Amino acid sequence: MRGHAPHEHGQGDGSGDRDAHAQSHAHHPHGHDGAGCGGGHEAGDVVGRAERLCQTRGLQFTRLRRDVLAAVAAEHRPLGAYDIAERMSAPGRRVAAVSVYRALDFLTEQGFVHRISSRNAFVSCGHEHGAGAGLVFLICRTCGGIDEMTAPAVESALDQTLAGTGFSPTSRILEVEGECGACRGRNDVPDQA
């Protein structure tokens, strides 16, 4: 019952970023200072990278697309389209959710954001994995933080599982709910009294 065409994940754009997903970017979740679920990337980096890639791909990076991406990238939790519209709206400048959805469609197709199905919300992607990469999202129920990892092992296990079924997956995205290291650390009372 979706209103829009299925995403054809940027096939044929000949971009070479497929090689890049061998490198693991499991950016050690919350390892540094324990200051909560820190997303690993700066919003400015994400936007700058998207701008360069749009240029390379001959695509328009409109102000709306840029603003939507910046709003998503500024947040470490998944954001819904209405939240994004609200953040972008100012007195005298109302941004309609439908415009945000359109921009999100574009950003998702280009791989700059990912849709988190279980939240019907979006996160930015600062990584350089290919369009068909197997992804695992770790969603913390306590703080709402989210971490993205590529998971070649999951990818090949899934391919093996599907072998012979005739089923061809268009995405291999796994959403795992639980509690992040930072929240677990906060809740674990140290034993040494």
Instruction: Please report, as ranges, the residues that interact with Zn ion according to CB under 5 A.
Output: 37, 125, 127, 140, 142-143, 145, 180, 183
Closest contact distance (angstroms) between CB of 37 and Zn ion is 5
Closest contact distance (angstroms) between CB of 121 and Zn ion is 15
How many whole angstroms separate alpha carbon 117 and alpha carbon 121?
7
48 or 96, CB closer to Zn ion? 48
Residue 42 neighbours by CB under 8 Å, 6+ apart: 73
56 or 89, CB closer to Zn ion? 56
Q: From 129, 38, 43, select the one nearest 77 (Cα to Cα).
A: 38
**Burial code of 123-153, b = ≥16 C-beta within 10 A, e = fewer?**
bbbbbbbbbbbbbbbbbbeebbbbbbbbbee
Q: Where are the alpha helices (DSSP H) in 123-191?
A: 152-162, 181-187
| Continuous segment of H or E residues that includes residue 121 | strand 121-124
How many whole angstroms separate alpha carbon 152 and alpha carbon 133?
8
Closest contact distance (angstroms) between CB of 155 and Zn ion is 13
Closest contact distance (angstroms) between CB of 94 and Zn ion is 30
Closest contact distance (angstroms) between CB of 128 and Zn ion is 9
143 or 154, CB closer to Zn ion? 143
94 or 141, CB closer to Zn ion? 141
94 or 184, CB closer to Zn ion? 184
